[in-house]
C-alpha cells in the first residue's frame, strides 16, 4: 500500500503525523502551563498563609505571657465570686453575722440564679437574697458592714428601715428596735461555662519567670470597704429624740454631769501621760512604763464608756454634746493613735543593742545602790522584748540582763529570809568563826538550809552563799 503512495502523499503523511504529535505536545504544554499557573497561585496563597502564620507565631511569646498573667490574676480575682458551692459557706457566714450583730431574722429568702436560659449556665450568675429582720440601728449597721466587708462580693441593693408597729417602742440593749427589709445580691462564677483553657508548654516555668509581672499587674479590684465603728455615743436617728410629756428620760442632769466630770478627770490624766510620752528625752524604761499606763488607761476607760452608753446614762442634750466632744472623740483619737505608739517605731520586736546596754547599766547602778525592786521592775517591764533568739547578736546582752535579773531576784528573796543574827564569834588566829542565828550556832562553811550556806563571819558583816550567789549582811 505504502509503495503505492506517491511522494507527495508520503510527505503529507509524515508531515501530518508530525503535526499531530506537535499539536498534542503543544496542547500538553498549554495544559501544563495551566497547571503551572494554578500551582503558582496555590503556592502564592500558601506563602501568604505562611506569612500570616508567621505573624501569629511572632506574637506567641507575648500572648503566652499575657495569658499566663491573666490566668494567674483571674484566679485571684474570682476569689470574690466563688463557684456555686461557695454559696453554702456564704449563708453560714450570714448566720454568723446575724449572731455577732444581734439582729433577729424574721424571713430569709434566697433567690434562684438569674439565668437567661434554664439549660445554659451563665459565666456570672446573679443571686438575690431577701431579708426581713428586726434590729436596732447599730445592730443593722454592724450587720450590713460585716456583709460589705466579707471577702465575697455582696452588694446591698435595696433596704428600708421602719418603726415596729407597736404602741410602745421595743428596746434591745437600750436601743429602739426597728423592722428592716433588705435585698442583697451576689454572683457566682462558673469557670467552665464556656471556652477551654489552652495548654501552655512549660507553664510553671513561665509562671515563675513572670512572677514579678503577675504581682505588678495584680490590679486590686476596687471593692470599697468601710470599718463601722459602732454607735460612738450617737443617738439613733430613727427615734424622735424629744422627751415624752411627763416622762423625763434618764438620770437627773446633775448626776449626768457628775459622770461626765469623772470621765473628764480620767481623760486629763491620760492626756498628761500621752504628753509625757511625746517627750524626746525619755529613757526606754520611762517610755515602756508610760505606754503601758496609757494603754491600760484607754482600755479601762473604754469599758466604762461602754457601760455608760449601754445604760444610756447620758441623755441630756447639753451633757451629751460635751460627752461626745470631750470624752468619746478624744478617746477614739487616742486609741487610733495606737495608745501612744510613736510614729516610725521599729517593727523589731526586741530592744536594740543600745537599749539593752542601757538596761544593763541601769540595773547595775540600781543594784549598786541597793534598789533591788526598781532594778527588777525595769527588767520585768520590758522582759518580753528581751527574748531574742540565740542567732541574734543581741543574745549575749539579753543573757547578761537576764543574769542580772536573776541576781536581783535572788537578792530580793534573800532579803525576805528571816535571818536574826544574835551574835558572832570571830577567830583571827586560827579555827573557824561562827554566829548565833535564829537561836542556832553555825560555823563558817556550814549549811543553814539547802540553799543557804554561811561562808565567812566578820565583826561587822556576815557573808552568805544563797543559791550560788554570795551576799553580805551587815550587822
Please write down the HEC assignment for all residues of 140-161: HHHHHHHHHCCCCCEEEEEEEE
Our CB check for another protein shows the closer of 10 and 279 to be: 10
Q: Give, in degrees to the nearest 5, the angle at Cα 202 between 197 and 205.
A: 115
Our CB check for another protein shows the closer of 67 and 436 to be: 67
Our CB check for another protein shows the closer of 40 and 205 to be: 40
How far apart are CB 269 and another protein at their closest, in Å? Answer: 24
Closest CA to 71 of 186, 198, 205: 198
How far apart are CB 157 and another protein at their closest, in Å? Answer: 4
Our CB check for another protein shows the closer of 90 and 442 to be: 90
How far apart are CB 263 and another protein at their closest, in Å? Answer: 15
Beta bridge partners of 360: none
Our CB check for another protein shows the closer of 153 and 425 to be: 153
How far apart are CB 122 and another protein at their closest, in Å? Answer: 11
Contacts 24+ apart (CB under 8 A), 62-70: 64/200, 64/206, 65/206, 65/210, 65/213, 67/198, 67/200, 68/200, 68/203, 68/206, 68/207, 68/210, 68/214, 69/210, 69/213, 69/214, 69/217
CA 332 – CA 318 distance, rounded (Å): 20
How far apart are CB 402 and another protein at their closest, in Å? Answer: 49
Phi, psi of 440 (to 5 degrees): -120, 150
* Run of H or E residues at 16: helix 7-77
Our CB check for another protein shows the closer of 45 and 373 to be: 45
Q: Give, in degrees to the nearest 5, the angle at Cα 239 between 235 and 245.
A: 105
Our CB check for another protein shows the closer of 66 and 371 to be: 66
* Run of H or E residues at 275: helix 253-278
How far apart are CB 329 and another protein at their closest, in Å? Answer: 8
Q: How many CB atoms lie within 10 A of CB 186?
A: 22
CA 283 – CA 278 distance, rounded (Å): 12
Please tell me what DSSP assigns to residue 450.
S
CA 146 – CA 102 distance, rounded (Å): 12
How far apart are CB 156 and another protein at their closest, in Å? Answer: 5
Please tell me what DSSP assigns to residue 231.
-
Our CB check for another protein shows the closer of 283 and 321 to be: 321
How far apart are CB 380 and another protein at their closest, in Å? Answer: 42
How far apart are CB 230 and another protein at their closest, in Å? Answer: 10
How far apart are CB 220 and another protein at their closest, in Å? Answer: 9
Please tell me what DSSP assigns to residue 419.
-
Our CB check for another protein shows the closer of 69 and 437 to be: 69
CB 240 within 8 A of CB 169: no
Our CB check for another protein shows the closer of 188 and 274 to be: 188
CA 93 – CA 96 distance, rounded (Å): 5
3-state secondary structure of 127: strand
Amino acid at each position: 500500500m505504502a509503495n503505492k503512495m506517491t511522494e507527495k502523499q508520503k510527505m503529507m503523511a509524515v508531515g501530518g503525523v508530525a503535526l499531530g504529535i506537535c499539536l498534542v505536545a503543544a496542547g500538553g504544554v498549554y495544559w501544563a502551563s495551566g497547571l503551572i499557573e494554578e500551582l503558582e497561585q496555590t503556592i502564592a496563597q500558601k506563602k501568604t498563609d505562611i506569612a500570616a502564620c508567621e505573624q501569629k507565631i511572632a506574637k506567641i511569646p507575648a500572648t503566652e505571657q499575657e495569658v499566663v498573667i491573666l490566668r494567674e490574676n483571674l484566679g485571684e480575682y474570682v476569689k470574690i465570686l466563688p463557684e456555686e458551692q461557695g454559696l453554702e459557706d456564704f449563708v453560714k457566714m450570714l448566720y454568723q453575722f446575724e449572731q455577732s450583730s444581734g439582729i433577729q431574722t424574721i424571713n430569709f429568702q434566697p433567690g434562684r440564679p438569674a439565668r437567661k436560659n434554664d439549660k445554659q449556665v451563665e459565666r456570672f450568675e446573679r443571686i438575690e437574697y431577701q431579708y426581713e429582720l428586726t434590729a436596732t440601728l447599730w445592730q443593722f449597721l454592724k450587720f450590713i458592714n460585716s456583709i460589705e466587708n466579707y471577702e465575697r462580693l455582696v452588694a446591698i441593693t435595696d433596704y428600708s428601715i421602719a418603726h415596729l408597729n407597736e404602741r410602745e417602742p421595743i428596746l434591745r440593749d437600750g436601743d429602739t428596735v426597728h423592722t428592716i427589709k433588705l435585698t442583697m445580691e451576689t454572683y457566682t462564677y462558673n469557670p467552665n461555662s464556656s471556652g477551654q483553657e489552652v495548654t501552655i508548654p512549660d507553664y510553671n516555668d513561665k509562671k515563675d519567670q513572670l512572677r514579678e509581672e503577675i504581682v505588678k499587674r495584680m490590679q486590686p479590684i476596687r471593692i470599697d470597704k468601710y470599718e463601722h465603728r459602732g454607735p460612738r455615743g450617737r443617738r439613733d436617728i430613727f427615734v424622735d429624740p424629744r422627751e415624752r410629756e411627763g416622762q423625763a428620760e434618764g438620770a437627773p442632769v446633775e448626776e449626768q454631769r457628775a459622770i461626765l466630770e469623772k470621765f473628764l478627770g480620767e481623760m486629763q490624766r491620760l492626756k498628761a501621760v500621752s504628753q509625757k510620752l511625746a517627750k524626746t528625752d525619755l529613757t526606754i524604761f520611762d517610755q515602756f512604763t508610760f505606754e503601758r499606763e496609757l494603754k491600760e488607761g484607754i482600755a479601762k476607760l473604754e469599758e466604762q464608756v461602754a457601760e455608760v452608753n449601754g445604760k444610756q446614762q447620758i441623755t441630756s442634750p447639753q451633757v451629751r454634746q460635751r460627752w461626745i466632744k470631750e470624752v468619746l472623740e478624744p478617746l477614739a483619737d487616742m486609741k487610733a493613735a495606737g495608745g501612744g505608739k510613736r510614729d516610725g517605731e521599729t517593727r523589731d520586736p526586741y530592744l536594740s543593742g543600745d537599749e539593752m546596754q542601757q538596761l544593763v547599766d541601769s540595773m547595775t547602778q540600781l543594784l549598786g545602790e541597793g534598789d533591788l525592786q526598781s532594778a527588777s521592775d525595769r527588767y520585768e517591764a520590758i522582759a518580753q522584748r528581751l527574748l531574742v533568739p540565740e542567732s541574734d547578736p543581741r543574745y549575749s546582752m539579753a543573757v547578761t540582763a537576764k543574769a542580772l535579773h536573776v541576781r536581783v531576784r535572788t537578792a530580793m528573796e534573800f532579803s525576805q529570809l528571816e535571818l536574826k543574827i544574835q551574835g558572832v564569834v570571830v577567830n583571827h588566829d586560827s579555827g573557824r568563826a561562827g554566829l548565833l542565828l535564829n537561836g542556832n550556832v553555825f560555823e563558817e562553811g556550814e549549811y543553814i538550809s539547802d540553799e543557804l550556806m554561811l561562808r565567812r563571819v566578820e565583826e561587822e558583816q556576815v557573808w552568805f552563799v544563797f543559791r550560788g550567789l554570795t551576799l553580805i549582811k551587815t550587822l
